[in-house]
Structure 1
């Protein structure tokens, strides 16, 4: 099969997802390598799977090529239901601060034992004449008091893994990727795609 196209306009997410997929044995590239930038359908659902499927099916229909899309989010019980599937939509309402700054402000009064968090990623693979294939990965940890690490960006700078007591951004890719929600989802997706091909 040809390389999968990644259905995202987020350069960081695309690069990270490609690294995760490559490690799992799936070859992928930014869709913009072959196509002009597109406007994806607005995410309006409360389902990671539905949002990922919407993006993947849109790009697959336009290009006629195999596509993988991701929908991911951060869930922090102390903040309530304001994050999760709508993480980016919620955080982007604050135009004066970065997403990480907004998150830290929301947790300013949180005791150390109430800074628990979960990151979830659902991947959807869509190809011609095949049903969509969905895979999910999750990782649990806590939110640090300040950004730490330089190996990756975004929430990785704040997300402290329970097993290592380090943020994801403090870990080089070879260590970090298998521990992330995206890395785990990529491995599961590779397994499901292999199973589907063998049926």
Structure 2
């Protein structure tokens, strides 16, 4: 089971990094086209909004990739000061907190999107909004004219992928042999 979760996490991480590469290439192109359009007195207003939404997607996917690789900025003063036996315990607590945050985000997204109510309303967005006072599926973007929900879908996707990454990290911390764990934490903390 641990291996399959790690394999799933690796596969999701590979897809996330690929999507980030595409978005990182697309973002400056959008900005360049828009700057050129403004210089020629022919601005393309929807590109501004699309660039902002692309940056949000990059930030969210970057969060998940950072959780996967454990490359987030961390203060390791306490972890470095405790004996090796406690170091693993602190790492487990840290991994557990990250998993708790990711699962909480997933639950909040479920409550926000409320897919069961939407299904019970036969995907009638008007009836869904009338019943729940939640207009998530109806609110359009300002200039693109597309429902914002298509862009907001990044939140539950990242919550799910972050949950998988956090679970994989926690299971790795719990199952890796002590000697290998210590070697890895020394290498990470020394900047190698």
TM-score normalised to structure 1 length: 0.24
The structure with the larger Rg is: 2
- Name the one with the larger helix percent: 2
**Whose relative contact order is higher, 1 or 2, with alpha carbons under 8 Å and at least 6 apart?**
2
